Structure formats: C-alpha cells, structure tokens
Amino acid sequence: MGGSDAIAEDLRERILSEPEAILEDQDLMRALVMANEKSLGGNVVDLRGIAMERLEARLDRLEDTHRSVIAAAYENLAGTNQVHRAVLRMLDPVTFDDFLANLGGDVADILRIDALKFVLEAQDAADDPALRRLGDVLNVVEPGFVDAYITEGRNVPVRQVTLRPSNPSDASVYGDTARKLQSEACIKLDFGEGRLPGMLAMGATDPELFTAAQGTDLLAFFGGVFERQMRRWLS
C-alpha cells in the first residue's frame, strides 16, 4: 500500500469513527456540498443544497442575535449593579453636609459621569440656609425652569427621565463644564405637596452614555431614592 493510500485509509477511519466532526464543521460541509453539485452537472438544480444554504444563513442570523442578547443582558446587569452601588453610597452619609459632598464626589464617580447637578426651583433661595450649603452641586433656578429645560421649550409632555445629546452652548445647568459634555440625563424630581420641583442633571463627555434608545428604569429608581433623601434634608 502506497503512502497516499495509507493517508486516505487513515482519514477514512477517522471520519468513520467521528462523523459528527464533519457535520459540525461548516466549511467542510460546504465543500462537500459544492463537490456534490459539480458531480451532478450544470443542468441539475440541487434543491437540497439551496435549502441548506438558506438554513446556514438563518443559523448565522440566529447566532448573531443570540450574541447580541447575551451582550445586552451583561450590559444591563452591569448597569443595575452600578446604580445599586451608587444608591447605597448615597445612603451612607448621616449628616447633610456629607450627603451633599458625597453626591458630587463618590456617587458621580460610581455612575461614571463627568458632571452631576442638582437643579432646584425656588422663589427666594437667598434666605434658605440649607440651600446655600449645597455649594457647587446645587443650581437654584426660577419656577418653571425644570420643565422648560427638559422639553427645550417645546409643548410636549415632561417625562420623568430624559436621555439626549447635551447642548454645549447652554451653560444654565452645568456652567463652563457644558462645553465638554456630549450627552445628558435629566431626572425630574418631586419633593412633595407644596414644594417646587427639582431635577438631577447628569452630563457625560461620552456621546453614547445617554441616548434616547436606552431604558430609563434604573435612572427613575435612582431619582426616586434621591427624592426621598432630599425630602428628609429639606424638611
């Protein structure tokens, strides 16, 4: 038996012992189908081969969808853990001063945002010592500012959470930092009956961090916790 025959016999034995190895190899199966089509001649249409090509294309699409779903699930889990850590850190301080310092420091760092502002509507903020102690985190504005900022002056419903590109030329919320920001999240806050609304504004230099296509449940949850904390401090 010659060398080529010995190799052929060895391959034959391996194929017979492990036929599933061929079935799982798409490139090898495709080569076998093409070889079969050539043996049929040009006047014969192999419907089975056509069906197999379509099934392969469908399988590729399903695998791509499967990978996308898994990636989205991991991303959602990471986002959930991130917001939960930020909420727990926000609940740690036992004094109002620490709460405020923590908001613009550790909480913003955990959320990986470049700017965090607490916008509060007030009739006369100058006489409120609690508001003066908020420092750089606070931006006191006239009544009606929050809705106008969120809707950008349009006659549309005000959502609790709005995700969008930021306006680098509008320094009314972020100050000079606005020039660097590319996206933002606006969370409208309700402090209870008899109080004017507020807003948490989160700005990021990453244009993809906050987009309209993203879900808002986690940020709504974060805003709800913040509302309850601020009701304590402002009471």
Q: Give the chain's domain count.
A: 2
Beta strand segments in the chain, E: 115-121, 138-141, 161-165, 183-189, 198-204
Q: What is the CATH number of the domain that holds 144?
A: 3.30.450.40
> Same domain for 185 and 151?
yes
> Same domain for 94 and 136?
yes
Q: Report which of residues 7 and 20 the model is more confident about.
A: 20
> Same domain for 48 and 145?
no
Q: Report which of residues 37 and 156 the model is more confident about.
A: 156
> Same domain for 27 and 93?
no
The answer to whether residue 5 is domain-embedded is: no
Q: Domain range spanning residue 104?
A: 69-234
Q: Full-prediction pTM beyond 0.75? A: no
Query: Residue 104 — very low, low, confident or very high, per pLDDT cuts 50/70/90?
Result: confident
> Same domain for 223 and 169?
yes
> Same domain for 41 and 130?
no
Task: Give the three-class secondary structure for 164.
Answer: strand
Q: Which two tokens stand for residue 177?
A: 């930092």
Alpha helices (H) along 41-190: 47-91, 96-102, 108-111, 129-132, 145-151
The answer to whether residue 204 is domain-embedded is: yes
Q: Which residues pair with 116 in a beta bridge?
A: 202
Pairing of strands 138-141, 161-165: unpaired
Q: Are 102 and 233 in contact (CB under 8 A)?
A: no
Give the number of other CB atoms < 10 A from CB of residue 100: 20
pLDDT at res. 193: 85
> Same domain for 208 and 149?
yes
23-49 residue pLDDT tens:
777 777 777 767 666 665 555 556 666
171-230 residue pLDDT tens:
999 988 999 999 999 999 999 888 899 999 999 999 999 999 888 999 999 999 999 988
For residue 155, pLDDT over 80 is answered with: yes
